[in-house]
């Protein structure tokens, strides 16, 4: 990745504008970022996050959260199967696929 520099003056209340950098990172007003200080004490890394990492956004969608809730309910109501071996599991999945395709 190409190194990019932006020089910015520190303003009142120790604010630094990161407008140019934010556009490149896809950060908008109201978004959250995690600021990591490098081990050298002189470098910063800005990572876009919500209350979770942006790359995990799909997991927090209504669709995925609905799937999680249904799975938890199935576990609670003991609606699941166990298999002695992986081979038994594969056979069960193949049989289910065959039944579905009929």
For the chain, give every domain's residue range. 12-54, 61-101
Average pLDDT of the chain to the nearest whole number: 86
Q: Examine the pLDDT at 16 and tell me if it is beyond 80.
A: no
What pLDDT shows up at residue 1?
58
In a 3-state reduction of DSSP, which class is residue 44?
A: strand
User: What integer is the mean pLDDT of 59-70?
Assistant: 92
N-to-C CA span, the chain: 51
pLDDT-above-90 percentage for the chain: 33
CA angle 88–85–94, rounded 5-degree value = 25
CA–CA distances in Å: residue 97 to residues 3, 94, 100, 101, 102: 50, 5, 5, 6, 9
Q: Are 17 and 11 in contact (CB under 8 A)?
A: yes
What pLDDT shows up at residue 50?
74
């Amino acid at each position: 990745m190409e190194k990019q520099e932006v020089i910015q003056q520190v303003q009142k209340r120790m604010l630094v504008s990161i407008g140019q950098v934010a556009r490149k990172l896809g950060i908008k007003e109201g978004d959250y970022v995690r600021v990591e200080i490098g081990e050298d004490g002189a470098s910063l890394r800005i990572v876009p996050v919500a209350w979770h990492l942006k790359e995990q956004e799909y997991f927090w969608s209504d669709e995925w959260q609905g799937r999680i809730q249904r799975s938890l309910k199935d576990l609670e109501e003991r609606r699941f199967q166990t298999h002695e071996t992986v081979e038994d599991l594969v056979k069960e999945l193949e049989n289910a696929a065959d039944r579905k395709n009929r």
